[in-house]
Amino acid sequence: MSKEKLCVVFNGADYSLPMSDLIKRPSTITLDNTNYLYVGFKKPLNKFYFNLSNLAPVANTILTVEENDGTNWNPVTNLEDNTYNFSESGYLCWDKYSCNTKCVKSTISGMEKYWYRIQLSESQTIEFMGTGVLFSQDSDVYIEYPILDNAKYKVAVSGNQDNYTNIHVQVRDYILSDIRSIGINKYTKDNPANCDYFKQITEFDLFDLEEIKFAARMLALANIYYKLSDSPDDRWQIDADRYKAEYLRAFNVAFLSIDKNDDGKQDTCEQPTFTTNLRIKR
């Protein structure tokens, strides 16, 4: 798990710490058309995952996301709302190329970041378990095996959670470890002699999550099946092993677009990197 976190501000209060957890520390916030939830980071981004709990969606609500161009707040380009107006957990994502030219740093609650603000058209009280970047989500799991959208399996795998977010956090961190093991890193300063020049890749450095999505789905399924297994020979363990093998196959042929200079903009030198050299022994 990386130390890099999103900054989250609402009504002048800093929710960054509890919202970074994604699982344990709920934050109850009431959004409407008079206030904003601000999410910021050190560089431009085009995606946030929100884990929501105790859902009580309001009809006819419209969610908007805006970015600051230095003068005005403008809607992000081609917003894709997988949360369906904060009625379920999912992603907010938008055109990855728009962040190259539009969003600039601004200051919210004394913090200078690249900020994005989120608003709802109708008043709605939301319990946020957290926000961040994941490589898989529950809908990916259900595509492969719809029966996993069942409370008894969620309780067995995730305890008192009503989703598999703990599994998706594990998957993200595992994949990041495998990416780092290839030798892919990023640089943040101009002087290679400085020990701070090279940094580890984090979840915020992948430009296109679609490139890793299938591998992440396979690993999520492997982890879920492993936790449901109670015998080395039962069908859960057999399928866990099968999905783990599928993950290794998918990861070894993946092309990854990575922000190697840590500026949030996909430069010509940051075209997809082929991972076929990897030899995973785990």
Could you report the per-residue pLDDT of 89-120, keeping only the tens digit for each? Answer: 999 999 865 544 578 999 999 999 999 999 99
Q: How far apart are CA 280 and CA 127, in angstroms?
A: 39
pLDDT-derived band at 273 (thresholds 50, 70, 90) equals low
**128 & 146 share domain:** no
Looking at the predicted structure, is the pLDDT value of residue 260 above 50? yes
pLDDT-derived band at 282 (thresholds 50, 70, 90) equals very low
Looking at the predicted structure, is the pLDDT value of residue 278 above 60? no
| CATH code, domain carrying 118 | 2.60.120
**126 & 152 share domain:** no
Q: Which of 38, 62, 47, 41 is nearest to 116 (CA)?
A: 38
**31 & 145 share domain:** no
Which element (helix H / strand E) includes 6?
A: none
Looking at the predicted structure, is the pLDDT value of residue 196 above 70? no
Instruction: Please tell me the predicted confidence (pLDDT) of residue 2.
Output: 59
Of 144-148, 153-157, 185-189, the poorest mean pLDDT is in 185-189
Neighbours of 240 (CB within 10 A): 20
**101 & 122 share domain:** yes
Give the residue numbers spanning the domain of 269: 138-274
Inside any domain, residue 279 = no
Instruction: Please tell me the predicted confidence (pLDDT) of residue 191.
Output: 59
Instruction: Please tell me the predicted confidence (pLDDT) of residue 99.
Output: 47
Place of tokens 């002087």: 191
Instruction: Please tell me the predicted confidence (pLDDT) of residue 210.
Output: 92
Mean pLDDT of the chain: 88
154 backbone φψ class: left, alpha, beta (φ>0; ψ -120 to 50): alpha
Radius of gyration (C-alpha) of the chain in whole angstroms: 19
**171 & 153 share domain:** yes
**24 & 91 share domain:** yes
Can you tell me whether residue 42 is helix, strand or coil?
A: coil
Instruction: Please tell me the predicted confidence (pLDDT) of residue 101.
Output: 56
The one-character DSSP state at 269 is G
Instruction: Please tell me the predicted confidence (pLDDT) of residue 114.
Output: 95
- In this prediction, residues 28-42 reach a mean pLDDT of 96
Inside any domain, residue 37 = yes
User: Of 85, 116, 132, which residue is a domain's last?
Assistant: 132
The one-character DSSP state at 135 is S
3 CB contacts (<8 Å, ≥6 apart)? none
Number of domains composing the chain: 2
- In this prediction, residues 25-53 reach a mean pLDDT of 94
Q: Which of 73-87, 153-167, 189-203 has the highest mean pLDDT?
A: 73-87
Of 96-100, 117-121, 207-211, 243-247, the poorest mean pLDDT is in 96-100
**206 & 101 share domain:** no
Inside any domain, residue 1 = no
Instruction: Please tell me the predicted confidence (pLDDT) of residue 188.
Output: 72
**173 & 76 share domain:** no
| Alpha-carbon distances, residue 191 vs 186, 194, 196 (angstroms) | 13, 6, 9
